[in-house]
Structure 1
């Protein structure tokens, strides 16, 4: 008796071959997408002659929560150089801080003061 090889004894559908074990699934690599960070912005306070040091210290303490020493140092710098960076933060917060400075009100210590101080913002980079 002749024994045929096993593979010739098994019939496969036309075009199909012997069964092959499936490959193990490749683990999906997770791509970490980093959000694009906005550049930080400086909030800049500009000097004028319609506000006292006490006003500037009071305003910076109220809006930013700075201590009296830090606020006074900034008041001196704005008086000496004409401007001072009072904060560096993301764009939305910078816009809010500029708005808060410009809407803080006149200095009650000076009759000539009829408006808030002026502030602007610019990218820090």
Structure 2
């Protein structure tokens, strides 16, 4: 037997099993289950990596991170120290498109005016989060 409520278009299907008992299943329940299983996945996350070099000062890194990523001076110093010590540091984890934008902004930031041999921006890349 199939019927619907007036305002919500809510329908219930009632069937008889072999034992004669009635079973009821809401169409709203099944459609919710189907939507949950077909819901799109979250976008994969990507790291923006800053690479070490000898042509940029801590001050440059801190200033760049403050301007491009809104990091505090303290956080900028921590990242600068990590880049110096390990050769690289993750400065942001975000969607791929946003990571590409931030990588490009790093590449366009320009040279370090405090170091004469600095001729361009720092190196940066993105990598997928595992």
- Larger Rg, first or second structure (1 or 2): 1
Indicate which of 73, 77, 80 corresponds to 1:72. 77
* Residue number in structure 2 paired with 1:42: 47
Q: Following the alignment from structure 1 to structure 2, what is the Cα–Cα distance between the partners of residues 85 and 74?
A: 8
Deviations 1:16-56 (A, max 9, x none): xxxxxx74243543342422222100000000000000000
Structure with the bigger RCO (C-alpha within 8 Å, sep 6+) is 1
TM-score, normalised by the number of residues in structure 1 = 0.78
Instruction: From the two aligned structures, give the one with the greater helix fraction.
Output: 2
Unaligned segments of structure 1, at least 5 residues:
1-21
| Cα shift at 1:121 | 0.4
Indicate which of 81, 91, 95 corresponds to 1:90. 95
- Determine helix, strand or coil for the equivalent of 2:90: strand
Deviations 1:4-25 (A, max 9, x none): xxxxxxxxxxxxxxxxxx7424
List 4+ stretches of structure 1 deviating above 4 A.
none
1:1-125 paired onto structure 2 within 5 Å: 23-25=2-4, 26=11, 28-29=27-28, 30=31, 31-32=34-35, 33-125=38-130
Instruction: From the two aligned structures, give the one with the greater strand fraction.
Output: 2
